[in-house]
Structure 1
């Protein structure tokens, strides 16, 4: 291998990879809304400019019945009527955790989240966002 070649995370960190997959399985078992799960992963992957993950999450969302119109417009979710209020606040949370602003007060956003989700669901949503950001960074390391 040359010094600049990508490092194969999966092959070189098998145990870690397996544990990350186990976390993903735990998240899936919570019963969190599957279409929203896809939208959150897609939006974070767009922000992180992870082409591999964007493609994968578009395909997964389509497979699970998400409309192409909503997939196409998730990048501009604030400016369209395609998304419900609960989806919009989840996407706002996704953006807040993916591109943190050190000056941001997340209190009002948490209040809005609680209008649509239980604390358990907010915790799951937070885990989804954290995990996709981690996966994006692993994948980006291969660019």
Structure 2
């Protein structure tokens, strides 16, 4: 596929704001591996090749094993490969990203709330929202994997 436009270069103020938004969201989550798993899963759902490439690289650099990266699309069927906290975050990620039937189910929200205090949960939601912003722009303009923004 051919890149449609160099969006981020034309929208430098927006890009800086988006980067600040993402940084602020991740700061309160505490666990950088959890944040990377969340953004990778949302990027997989949104089919954002640029973000998948980036976040797989980030996870590898953080020392996350290949099984945890490779099996992320099947996290629900992967037994104890992911912690209960990670599974709750991934379920919320999928619900917010896909918005099945237009809402996030109460059970999914309650599952996440059982593993995160309100501040952490707010940051988790913000991380999910931020990566969906990145994904939607990158998919729309066909941002090539591995290129500078």
Tell me the TM-score normalised to structure 2 length.
Answer: 0.87
- 1:29 shift after superposition: 2.6
- 1:31 shift after superposition: 4.6
Distance in 2 separating the partners of 1:137 and 1:103: 18
The root-mean-square deviation of aligned C-alpha atoms, in Å, is 1.7
Distance in 2 separating the partners of 1:114 and 1:141: 32
Distance in 2 separating the partners of 1:21 and 1:57: 15
Distance in 2 separating the partners of 1:112 and 1:44: 18
How many residues align? The count is 140
Q: Which runs of 4+ in 1 moved over 3 A?
A: none
Distance in 2 separating the partners of 1:21 and 1:87: 24
Q: Does 1:121 align with 2:147?
A: no
RCO (CA 8 Å, sep 6+): is it higher in 1 or 2? Answer: 2
- 1:106 shift after superposition: 2.1
- 1:130 shift after superposition: 0.6
- 1:67 shift after superposition: 1.1
Unpaired runs of 5+ residues, structure 2, are: 143-149
Counterpart for residue 78 of structure 1: 76
Counterpart for residue 50 of structure 2: 52
Distance in 1 separating the partners of 2:101 and 2:136: 20
